Structure 1
Amino acid sequence: MGNIDKRNRLDDAPFSYRVNKKNTVFLEYKGKQVKILKGQEAEKFIRKIEATVTEKESQLIMAKGTGNFKPGNERI
């Protein structure tokens, strides 16, 4: 994971996720929902998250799952 998180922003664990009964995944950044994953995309995300060992790996998967999300450039 060497050069991926050069500024150590993932150490603060800004990302979180929730899964409902229908296996819909809600990705959140600092408590605000930024993406919803459904179907095969959600299943793939859940498999990857369950296979992680460290919190930083989980944070990276959640960050990648949000797609092209850049905090500060969006309008909420």
Structure 2
Amino acid sequence: MPRPHGFAYEERKDGSVVLTHHGRAAGVLRGARAAKFLAEAESGDLQLVMARWTGAYRFGNERQARSHPRNQGGGTRRG
């Protein structure tokens, strides 16, 4: 699985944390969530932590799932 990269964060004066990915805003954490993120960021792989908190975390099976027959479209409609 490729390692995540391109993430950065900025702590604001109001206590919030802005997460960016390649310069674009990816999320804003406030209050207890911001404090929890900062504690986790100090103790782990920073890029991986930011990827998880923004929801950009890939499990490695998305490419395989794309070619599965269930995901090819053309299924039956329920209605």
Q: CA deviation at 1:9?
A: 4.1
1:19 to 5, 11, 18: 11
**Separation in structure 2 between the aligned mates of residue 26 and residue 39 of structure 1, nearest angstrom:** 12
Q: Is the 8 A contact 2:3 2:48 kept in 1?
A: no
RMSD: 1.6
Amino acid in the other structure paired with 1:44? K
1:3 aligns to what?
A: none
Aligned residue number for residue 64 of structure 1: 52
Q: Which contiguous aligned blocks of 4+ residues in structure 1 show a shift greater than 4 angstroms?
A: none
Q: Computing the radius of gyration over CA atoms, which structure comes out larger, 1 or 2? A: 2
1:8-27 per-residue CA deviation (whole Å, 9 max, x = no partner) reads 242xx311100011220000
- 3-state SS in 2 of match to 1:22: coil
Q: Percent of aligned positions with the same letter in both sequences?
A: 33
Deviations 1:39-73 (A, max 9, x none): 11100000001123xxxx11110001112x48xxx
Query: How does the TM-score come out when normalised to structure 1?
Result: 0.67
Instruction: Give 5+ residue unaligned stretches, structure 1.
Output: 1-5, 71-76
* Matched residue, 1:28: 20
CA distance in 1, matches of 2:35, 2:27: 15
Paired residue secondary structure (2:15): coil
Q: How many residue pairs end up in the alignment?
A: 57
Residue 74 of structure 1 corresponds to none
